[in-house]
Structure 1
Amino acid sequence: FKSYLKQQELSKTTAEMYHYQTMNFISFLDKDNTEVEKCTEKEIMLYLAHLQKKGIASETRKLRLSALKHFFNFQIENNKRKDNPANRIKLQGGQKQKLYPILTPQELQSIYENYQVPTQEHPKSHHNWFNAYKLSKERNKVIIGLLLNQGITTAEVSRITIDSLDLRNGKIDITGGRTGKDRTLELKSSQIMDLMEYQYKTRNELLQYQIQQTKLLFLSTPPSGQTQVKDPSTLNIYKRLTEELKEQNPKFINFLQVRASVITYWLKNYNLRQVQYRAGHKRIISTEAYLINDIDDLQKEIDSFHPIG
């Protein structure tokens, strides 16, 4: 079956997932002493109902149904059976994972490179507001690097403190919060230098605008017309930053798209458990949902199933 999946032009990750899920289905049949060659629509529906009772999400159940379709096609090719019982089953309902156009690693890198930090040669550098503006751009550049390379969320960015950094070993601790898991991620060599410059230069200058002492790594600049920041934990930068990046990069939509692109790239290079850790997902089904981005025409294939009357 593994060899058959390789011939279907599926990605390595998808093929491994299909094989694993099919073995899970066969184990389910073994409990009732049902031979897989004699399996019917009834057994498949019982299996899907079993998954639903376990709390497996609708989109994940659809992925498992797709895996079974491939398996029964494999059996037909090897004269083990004459029909594919999975072809006549259609799963409906459930909240669908919102899919974004996936950006390539090169396109993600372009987002970072296209974001320019002004220098003292800027034509408006003589204005009083220019220094705070320049500092905010330097801060944003480092944040963009973390979003593009480590795939963290904007909420997680706001929780990073100076104690989260281990620049000597090239690592950063991410606090997942209520919905995610804590994890330690590796930094790229270029990020280490950028973070070091930000921490010891840019951040020190941003501290002069803060009323309260704070260990938060990323600090705000004062609102227009003000000279100080009252609450250092408030980092309201993403609406304007999103608009800027959209102007510079036509394919950019938002930072959820960036995270989806990073996780999809990871799925092509690491196993599910490794990606689950990197993404900070508490449940593996959250990671599995991104596999939809890695399966060509999956929804079209599923929609071709005929529902049981």
Structure 2
Amino acid sequence: MDFKRYLKEQGLSKTTIEAYHYNTLKFISFLDQTNTEAETCSAKEILLYVSYLQKKGVDAVTKKMQLYSLKHYFSFLIEHKKRKDNPAKKIKLQGTQKPKIYPILTPQELQSLYENYPVPKADDKRSHHNWFTGYRLSKERNKVILGLFVHQGITTAEVSRILVDDLDLRNGKIDIRGGRIGKDRTLELKSNQILDIMEYQYTTRNELLKYQEQNTGQFFLSTPASGKTKVKESGTLSIYKRLTEELKEQNPKFINFLQVRASVITYWLKNYNLRQVQYFAGHKHILSTEMYLINDIDDLQKEIENFHPIG
């Protein structure tokens, strides 16, 4: 019952709690066959258990859920000082969908992308060119968007849905509209991005409004296409190809904004419980959040690979 209470404290649903508890009991029964205790078992025993499940014809998704259950169970044992490590945490199963598509950027690398993104000043030596004002305004806008990727982990689609009324700078918060595949949520803004957002909202955006053919409540505004003087209608920003190229110049490890989001979610999972991270990420289902747990892989994975691979 203590384990169930622990799962409830992690914010998991009643159905998930019952499933994880049942899965854990099955694993303990497996250990009993070899007189092994959960408090002393290693990654090898877990892999043997996965192999046992495979021989019984258990599908890949069910095996993955078994592993998630054990990760929670060993975290529970650690919290109650019954063991010091989590042997299930670093194991990944071959032959299942791999959520780790991208190499994860560290929080320091993410912050560096944001802080070092170059924004020209109004008195820049290029300011005499006709194109410069639009260029400067777009760079000021792009840095604010980059801050939302790096700090709030939102998607490119969510950027285009942000309205002026979604900002609450007095309380340092922003409402994110999840859309068809995500959930609405309210996220805290970081202190080091609020000043950039304020400057954009009250200065840069007012200048960008002059280019708009129609008045709009959309927060992020476009600059006119080459040779044009007005933006006919607000829509999805077409800035990400160029912004991606700029960020790759800053850090060759940068791939795209899906990588940034995966990195942010992975960092959250180290610092918050699953239900909190599900909310921050806007995931409709807890499984979508748990898929990122496998990103937390370090030297222990090399040890695991010394055992036979599990398909």
Scaled by the length of structure 1, what TM-score is found?
Answer: 0.74
Q: What residue number does 1:25 align with?
A: 23
Letter in 2 for 1:45: L
Match of 2:274 among 269, 272, 288: 272
Q: Does 1:301 align with 2:304?
A: yes
CA offset at residue 97 of structure 1? 1.6
Q: What residue number does 1:6 align with?
A: none
Query: Which whole-Å deviations, capped at 9, do the CAs of 1:39-83 have from their partners, x for residues lacking one?
Result: 996996399978x6xxx8478347348759x89xxxxxxxxxxxx
Q: What residue number does 1:3 align with?
A: none
- What RMSD over aligned residues (CA atoms) do the two structures have, in Å? 3.8
CA offset at residue 190 of structure 1? 2.5
For residues 191 and 50 of structure 2, the distance between their equivalents in structure 1, rounded to whole angstroms, comes to 55
Letter in 1 for 2:255: I
For residues 48 and 271 of structure 1, the distance between their equivalents in structure 2, rounded to whole angstroms, comes to 32
For residues 195 and 130 of structure 2, the distance between their equivalents in structure 1, rounded to whole angstroms, comes to 29
Match of 2:128 among 126, 129, 142: 126
For residues 273 and 151 of structure 1, the distance between their equivalents in structure 2, rounded to whole angstroms, comes to 16
Q: What residue number does 2:228 align with?
A: 226
What does 1:61-76 align with in structure 2 at a 5 Å threshold? 61=65, 63-64=67-68
CA offset at residue 107 of structure 1? 1.0
Letter in 2 for 1:247: E
For residues 62 and 301 of structure 2, the distance between their equivalents in structure 1, rounded to whole angstroms, comes to 14
CA contact (8 A) 1:149 1:262 kept: yes
For residues 259 and 193 of structure 2, the distance between their equivalents in structure 1, rounded to whole angstroms, comes to 21
For residues 42 and 261 of structure 1, the distance between their equivalents in structure 2, rounded to whole angstroms, comes to 28
What does 1:47-62 align with in structure 2 at a 5 Å threshold? 57=61, 60-61=64-65
Closer/same/farther in 2, CA of residues 221 and 65 from structure 1, 3 Å limit: same
Match of 2:154 among 145, 152, 155: 152
Letter in 1 for 2:165: D
Match of 2:53 among 45, 55, 61: 45
CA offset at residue 274 of structure 1? 0.8
Q: What residue number does 1:247 align with?
A: 249
Q: Which secondary structure does the structure 1 equivalent of 2:187 belong to? A: strand
Q: Which secondary structure does the structure 1 equivalent of 2:174 belong to? A: strand
For residues 50 and 206 of structure 2, the distance between their equivalents in structure 1, rounded to whole angstroms, comes to 66
CA offset at residue 104 of structure 1? 1.4
Consecutive unaligned residues of structure 1, counting only runs of 5 or more, are: 1-12, 14-18, 72-85
Percent identity over the alignment is 62
For residues 57 and 194 of structure 2, the distance between their equivalents in structure 1, rounded to whole angstroms, comes to 49
Closer/same/farther in 2, CA of residues 20 and 64 from structure 1, 3 Å limit: farther
For residues 306 and 65 of structure 2, the distance between their equivalents in structure 1, rounded to whole angstroms, comes to 14
For residues 166 and 134 of structure 1, the distance between their equivalents in structure 2, rounded to whole angstroms, comes to 25
CA contact (8 A) 2:153 2:265 kept: yes
Q: What residue number does 1:256 align with?
A: 258
Query: Which whole-Å deviations, capped at 9, do the CAs of 1:101-123 have from their partners, x for residues lacking one?
Result: 21111111111122111113322
CA contact (8 A) 1:180 1:281 kept: yes
Closer/same/farther in 2, CA of residues 65 and 166 from structure 1, 3 Å limit: closer
CA contact (8 A) 2:100 2:295 kept: no
Closer/same/farther in 2, CA of residues 91 and 235 from structure 1, 3 Å limit: closer
Scaled by the length of structure 2, what TM-score is found?
Answer: 0.74
What does 1:90-239 align with in structure 2 at a 5 Å threshold? 93-239=95-241
Letter in 2 for 1:301: I
CA offset at residue 307 of structure 1? 6.2
For residues 107 and 298 of structure 1, the distance between their equivalents in structure 2, rounded to whole angstroms, comes to 23
Query: Which whole-Å deviations, capped at 9, do the CAs of 1:83-113 have from their partners, x for residues lacking one?
Result: xxx9xxx966443224322111111111112
For residues 49 and 104 of structure 2, the distance between their equivalents in structure 1, rounded to whole angstroms, comes to 35
Query: Which whole-Å deviations, capped at 9, do the CAs of 1:208-263 have from their partners, x for residues lacking one?
Result: 11112211100010111111112211300000000011011122111111111111
Query: Which whole-Å deviations, capped at 9, do the CAs of 1:246-295 have from their partners, x for residues lacking one?
Result: 01112211111111111111111111111111111111111111111113
CA contact (8 A) 2:185 2:282 kept: yes
